[in-house]
Amino acid sequence: MNEQLFIQDVTLRDGSHAIRHRFRVEDVRTIAAALDAAGVASIEVGHGDGLAGSSLNFGPSPVGGDLAWIAAAADVVTRARLTTVLLPGIGTIDDMKAAVDHGVRAIRLATHCTEADISRQHIAKARELGLDTSGFLMMSARTDPADLAEQAAVMEAAGAQCVFVADSSGQLTMTGYRDRVRALRDRLDAATEIGVHAHHNLGLSVANSIVAVEEGVTRVDASLAGLGAGAGNAPLEAFIAAADLQGWKHGCDLFALMDAADDLVRPLMDRPVQVDRETLSLGYTGVYGSFLRPAEQLARTYGLSTRDLLVEAGRRQMVAGQEDMLLDIALDLRARTDSPADTARTM
């Protein structure tokens, strides 16, 4: 692998999930400056659910939305490409234009892995605005490689310059990632890049990212200390260490990333970003990482097991944007627990 990898840090976007979207402006400024100095190619900033995601449904931001975070990063980033995410149906083209006005130079249009068609007009507008434009196929474990490749082709036809295989639930193994990247490479134009966005719920994010690069991926998502939904993303410093051992070019300063992870990011965690019974349940059952924190809150409120809530969400094949439906699950489980029949069986 002689081509230099494009390292995209997602600490300040996907990492938002892990701290309930409560980044302070000064946190964004400090972390973005450290990432820029450490040599990452792109720094993604915004609400975990993308532009306009700050809401009661997805989690409100204490600063009122994405633009304050984006402006803070733009103040200190001198080299890296400032990036954000938009989920059609949550964010709008007007939100995209506002992000550009505040310093964004690249955008990723994210959809469920079977719904690429809803991103067409957003991708076209992003290209018209001169943005580096990527498609982002979330929950890629939920469809087979051939169908995923067809969805990627929809994004490519709309103008996407790169398409990411996003394992939002952390359910894919190395074989699953390899098969999906190969399918995309066979289907897409050679000039269209492919990206990897791996989550760590099965503990495989770095391994999956390595396999993806071996299959031709050139853009790699990762975050400092793995900060992200569920058990987090591929830890940036761990992936860069492995890339060094592989002899891959990436342009990053490993020790600077180690320091930023431990000194700047870990102190912000109010819940360890790790593989535990709850986050492992996400990967095992294929549930989007953003379900973790609301499931934990509902479990405390109703005296339930977080794992039971997440397993049932997986059984119902819930997807991003349906986090509020966890309440229905909680009420169902609570009623089941309180039923006379269940009480008799436990006596």
Q: Which residues are catalytic?
A: 17
CB-CB neighbours of 118 under 10 Å: 14
Radius of gyration from C-alpha coordinates of the chain: 19
Residue 308 to residue 331: CA distance in whole angstroms: 12
Number of alpha helices (DSSP H) and beta strands (DSSP E) in the chain: 15, 8
Question: What is the Cα 227 distance to its own chain's centre?
Answer: 10
Q: Quick one: which of 20, 43, 48, 17 has its CA closest to 32?
A: 43
Straight-line distance from the first to the last Cα atom of the chain, in angstroms, rounded to the nearest whole number: 63
User: In this structure, what DSSP letter does residue 32 have?
Assistant: H
Residue 137 to residue 260: CA distance in whole angstroms: 29
Note whether 36 and 66 are within 8 A (CB). Answer: no
Ramachandran region, residue 52 (left: φ > 0; alpha: ψ -120 to 50; beta: rest): left
Residue 121 to residue 111: CA distance in whole angstroms: 13
Structure tokens at 312: 């049932």
Phi first, then psi, for residue 341 (nearest 5°) are -65, -45
